[in-house]
A and B are shown apart, each in its own frame.
Chain A
Amino acid sequence: MDGFLIQILLRGVLVGGMYALLSVGLTLIFGVLEIPHFAYGDVMMLAMYTCYWLQVFTGASLFLSIIIVFPLYLALGFILQKFVVNKIMDKPELSKMLFMVGFSLFLQGLALFVWTADTRFVKSELQNIYVDIGGGKISLTYIVNFVMAMLFFAGFYLWLQKTFMGKAIRASAQNKDLALVTGINIHKIFLVSFGIATVMSAVGAVLFAPIYYVGPFVGLELTLKSFMIVVLGGLGSIEGALLGGLIIGVVEALSSYLLSSEVKDLSALIIFLLVLLFKPKGLLGKEVRE
């Protein structure tokens, strides 16, 4: 039976890595733009549908989809920030949240209208190739997509650390007023942050799609999960997103092994509530935010 424990834990880690990429964008948006982006998951949903359409109409491989999704969603992120998000930057926090709720509903309706309520599936060519690990088999999809997710994550992290823009963004997240004083163009910061966050989540969603499903209401599930992960890891902390993602991934895998799949979601939620109530700054939280 221990053999299975290893397989289950491994699966949890692999999924957790993908979760990290999915959610890291949200931590940036919270940290820099201070927007409760309720529609975060819905944009991810659009990315998954984009990938689905690419597959249906051109039979493109998953990896080719990423090459197309990347510039598309980077641009979409910029557009959304400039024309949608910008309008509410000065409004009170709850108005921002409710506005994004409205946007989320709008996107759900759009998906429902264009693609109907049918459940769709995105396939990876590696799906049916298995690797023997720990007494069982894991589909190569998990492993390869995990590696890719980690590559993107690492790239994102390095970008934040090494580039000028990245450093400016980190400075704004730490202390906006101070950053403004140093002459940083705050509007450009917002634009770039939102764009990068969007594209990271879009790529994460495409990598995650083959082991999940695609439907118009997937967005809500993904938003909630991302929020759980970044709160767990600490709002504003990139490393926190990785840690949070891995923890949630493993907790889910273990619960589905020990108990049942329904309890999987319950465990994650309970951990989330406990963190919210007793350690709202999260595990690696830097910000002193309400």
Chain B
Amino acid sequence: MVKYEQKGETKIQALIIVIVVIIAAGVAGFWYMTSMQKPKVEEVKVGVVMPLSGPVAEYALHSRRMVEMLFEEYNAKGGVKSLGGAKLVPVWADDKGNPSTAVSEVERLITVEKVSVIFGAFTSGSTLAIAPICEKYGVPLVVMTAFSEKITRQGYKYVFRSHVTTTPYINSMMDFIIKKLKPKTIAHVYEDSVWGSTNAEITKKWLENNAPDVEIVLWEGYSRKPPIDLTALVLKIKEAKPDVLICSSYLQDAIVLMKTMYELDCYVPNIVAIGAGFTDPKFIQEVDKLASGVFVACYANYDNPRVNAQEVIKAFYNKYGYWPTGDALATAQDFQVLVDAIERAASTDPKDIYEALKNTNIPEEEGVLYPVKFDENGDNVYAFSYVTQIQKNDKGELEWFTVWPEDYATRSIITPLLPYEDRLKDP
């Protein structure tokens, strides 16, 4: 019996040794694999985080196409010249519109892919969530498209946003509303993520400080998770009877909102949308004549007269067959800042790119939408916004026309909105 015990125990010992060796080999393998990810100087890796699939993907598509186009063009024109023509390589990450997915993707981009800079994340929610990660690792975050000023008010040093953020945007839009539409009562419905909620906060504050006589009759958030049901909300709007209804909506909810308002016979004299869903071509496609006369505040519009803007706008149109949205144009401005900093840094080290970003100074003639210089929060002091209105063009189709600021207006405003029967009539 002693023999058997000894045999059994040696077998176990042998097995244990085998297991330990396997684990050790596995660990060594990981170590090797992950430390081999050093980027070569022939390329500069940029981590691109945005919704590539999921509920927001459809709406983010235009910015995504803009990013793809700009990367291609940039490399075609010779890549990063200060690094001898090194390729600018986008490392794509899909956050599916979820902040938690964005967080784990950025962890992966920074620790595994070893990117030099993060470009993302399109939605305010995801961008806000990844900012502390970038800050922690000391990898600069060039904000792509995201709007909420919460992102740049956390005291992070590594966050840079070149397109306009909430406060100046809202100032411009509310200025327009008060001066041109002169409402006595006002309402705001907003989707309840970081973006919509920040909008609601800032617009309310603006009214309290600058137009306290205008009565706030409704200020309510709604959920964007499908299936989107805005019945109760629209009934509240109908009861509140605002002169101006402000909407902070992404694409699908914008469509549902307009349709539900029609279905429940809810008429308001003026609708002013804060960009987003209302700037999407699909919005006009789905909602058709119901959209006629709606005001849409935006980052920029494709009738923008700036030469650099038109260059990008025409390139986009030639490649994809439709005019870029305001989001896509903001993305183009963000991209310009990104490559400008990389060129000046002449390095793949995130710290160098950070320093370059801090010192960004893109003059008036070169900026896509405006000159760029960052304040202590990481926002561009020169950024501003526009307001457009959806009107019929010469062919009778609905399009966005810039109507504010007045120096940039290509059409004059039509107010109030036509009642539904008139709107739906064919001319």
Q: Give the interface of A toward B (CB within 8 A).
A: 4, 7-8, 116-119, 130, 135-139, 211-213, 215, 253, 256-262, 264
Total A-B pairs, Cβ < 8 A: 61
Q: Decide if B232 touches A261 in the complex (CB within 8 Å).
A: yes
Residues of chain A within 8 A (CB-CB) of B222 are 260-261
Q: Please pick, from B96, B228, B263, the residue contacting A136 in the complex, using a CB distance under 8 A.
A: B263
Q: Decide if B263 touches A257 in the complex (CB within 8 Å).
A: no
B322 at the interface (CB under 8 A from A): no
Q: Decide if B53 touches A118 in the complex (CB within 8 Å).
A: yes
Tell me the complex Cα distance, A49–B230, Å: 25
Residues of chain B within 8 A (CB-CB) of A212 are 226-227
13 pairs, A vs B, C-beta closer than 8 Å: A117-B57, A118-B54, A118-B57, A119-B55, A211-B227, A213-B226, A215-B226, A259-B232, A261-B223, A261-B228, A261-B229, A261-B231, A261-B232
Say what secondary structure dominates the interface of chain B: loop
Q: Please pick, from B57, B96, B231, the residue contacting A8 in the complex, using a CB distance under 8 A.
A: B231
B265 at the interface (CB under 8 A from A): yes
Q: Decide if B229 touches A256 in the complex (CB within 8 Å).
A: yes
B55, B227, B228, B265: residue with the most chain A Cβ atoms closer than 10 Å? B227
Q: Please pick, from B57, B223, B227, B265, the residue contacting A262 in the complex, using a CB distance under 8 A.
A: B223
Q: Please pick, from B58, B231, B262, the residue contacting A256 in the complex, using a CB distance under 8 A.
A: B231
Tell me the complex Cα distance, A257–B263, Å: 14
Residues of chain A within 8 A (CB-CB) of B55 are 118-119, 215
B264 at the interface (CB under 8 A from A): yes
B211 at the interface (CB under 8 A from A): no
Q: Decide if B263 touches A117 in the complex (CB within 8 Å).
A: no
Residues of chain B within 8 A (CB-CB) of A257 are 231-232, 235
Q: Decide if B263 touches A119 in the complex (CB within 8 Å).
A: no
Top 3 nearest A-B pairs (CB, nearest first) are: A261-B229, A213-B226, A117-B53
Tell me the complex Cα distance, A215–B233, Å: 25
B252 at the interface (CB under 8 A from A): yes
Residues of chain A within 8 A (CB-CB) of B252 are 119
Q: Decide if A258 touches B263 in the complex (CB within 8 Å).
A: no
Shortest CB distance B122–A (Å): 15
Residues of chain A within 8 A (CB-CB) of B263 are 130, 136-139
The verdict on A260 contacting B232 (CB below 8 Å), with A4-B264, A119-B58 known, is yes
